[in-house]
């Protein structure tokens, strides 16, 4: 049984050698030009803390804020709520950053009228 496997492997090897003449069909990778610098993508950490209000429960005085593209605020941090350039309210973060799920956190409404789409940021 082993001799059949050995014979098959040797036959495949020899068949491959016969199919391509020496020196032909050899693919060599091209080296990049020396003047072209290889660069890797650069990433920068978000330096600001800014989120977007995605849900409001006015009767319970809390909001859900998405900080997906920002640093997460600290628990207990007070932040302003903005609609455009106008400050329309104030919230206090009730969750700690390690409790955030995919950058989404809960905050208590301290002042003003908050709507979905408003932005929350440090004053």
Residue with tokens 């003449």: 21
DSSP string, 2-40: HHHHHHHHHHHHHHHHHHS-TTSS---PPPPPTTSPP--
* Distance of alpha carbon 61 from alpha carbon 91, whole angstroms: 9
Question: Is residue 12 one of the residues assigned to a domain?
Answer: no
Question: Is residue 92 one of the residues assigned to a domain?
Answer: yes
Question: Is residue 42 one of the residues assigned to a domain?
Answer: no
Q: Looking at the 3D structure of the chain, how many domains does it have? A: 1
Q: Choose among 122, 29, 44, 42: nearest CA to 82.
A: 122
Do 55 and 64 touch, CB atoms closer than 8 A? yes
| pLDDT (0 to 100) of residue 5 | 59
Residue 68 structural domain: 50-121
Q: What CATH number corresponds to the domain at position 100?
A: 2.40.10.170
Question: Is residue 64 one of the residues assigned to a domain?
Answer: yes
Question: Is residue 70 one of the residues assigned to a domain?
Answer: yes
Question: Is residue 22 one of the residues assigned to a domain?
Answer: no
**pLDDT, tens digit, for every residue of 13-69?**
555 555 555 555 556 666 665 555 556 666 555 568 899 999 999 999 999 999 988
């Amino acid at each position: 049984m082993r001799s059949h496997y050995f014979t098959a492997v040797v036959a495949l090897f020899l068949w491959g050698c016969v199919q391509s003449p020496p020196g032909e069909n050899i693919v060599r990778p091209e080296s990049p030009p020396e003047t072209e610098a290889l660069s890797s993508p650069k990433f920068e950490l978000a330096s600001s803390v800014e989120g977007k209000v995605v849900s409001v429960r006015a009767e319970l005085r809390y909001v859900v804020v998405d900080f997906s593209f920002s640093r997460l605020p600290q628990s207990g941090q007070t932040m302003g709520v903005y609609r455009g350039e106008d400050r329309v309210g104030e919230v206090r973060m009730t969750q700690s950053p390690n409790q955030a799920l995919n950058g989404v956190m809960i905050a208590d409404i301290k002042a003003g009228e908050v709507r979905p789409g408003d932005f929350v940021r440090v004053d």
